[in-house]
Amino acid sequence: MTYTLYAAPGACSRVPMMALEEAGADFDVELVRFMRGAHRAPDFLALNPAGKVPVLVTPDGPLTENVAIATYLAGRHPGLLPDLSDPYEAARITANLAYVSSTLHPIVTRIRMPMFMADGDAAQGSVREKAMEMMRMHATTVDAALGAGPWWYGDDWSVQDAYVYWVWFRITGAGFPGEDYPAWAAHAARMEARASVQRALARDARLQAMLENEGLAVPMR
């Protein structure tokens, strides 16, 4: 195999999974069992001291962080991001990925995992509510970016589409009112009709089935 992706079902490791499927790359997936604390075990921390998926083991070495993994894969597999040769355009493309990684993703975490942020039902409810409010503001931005369609960068699909689709899946699965953002909803439907995305979703479903068999699953949606 060219690559090994360390992943957990429903997690943001689904983003490189979609990219690898889109590229037709040769890869296998190593399931990280969060419920067993596998992401805190020394062998995993040696790959990613932050204790998080995704990690992509590449022929050049291991890589962490979705922005870096997306940029690396795009360098090796043309068609995953727009042309990165112009420094300003490349920086704008990185900014869009980083917007999802460092602005949207932490809000997703507060919506889905408020127990990581506060103790007690009342405080956690408040964290979640505030995060939902914040996400509404950003959903307007994403909806506008996707308005012209069919993809974030117009006619060309990219990992940016995979990334915003993962956010959509996580927030709508947690009660975010997706119907208020019709361009984002239509984009999600287009993603789910794409063969590479379907293959990635099927891989994630197989990981979830493994966890279910082992009594270690948590709901993906």
Residue 161 within binding range of ligand GSH, rule CB under 6 A: no
For the window 61-80, what string marks contact with ligand GSH as x by the rule CB under 6 A?
Answer: ----xx--------------
Between 50 and 148, name the residue whose CB sits nearer to ligand GSH.
50
Q: Which of 53, 73, 107, 159 binds ligand GSH (CB under 6 A)?
A: 53
Residue 208 engages ligand GSH in binding (rule: CB under 6 A): no
Give min distance, CB of 221 to ligand GSH, in A: 14
Round to whole Å and give the CA distance between 164 and 160.
6
* Residue in 7, 12, 70, 107 binding ligand GSH, rule: CB under 6 A: 12
Q: Output the six-digit token pair for 70.
A: 């997306």
- Whole-number minimum distance, CB 66 to ligand GSH, in Å? 3
- Is 101 near ligand GSH (CB under 6 A)? yes
Choice between 116 and 148, CB closer to ligand GSH: 116
Positions touching ligand GSH (CB under 6 A) are 11-12, 39, 51-54, 65-66, 101
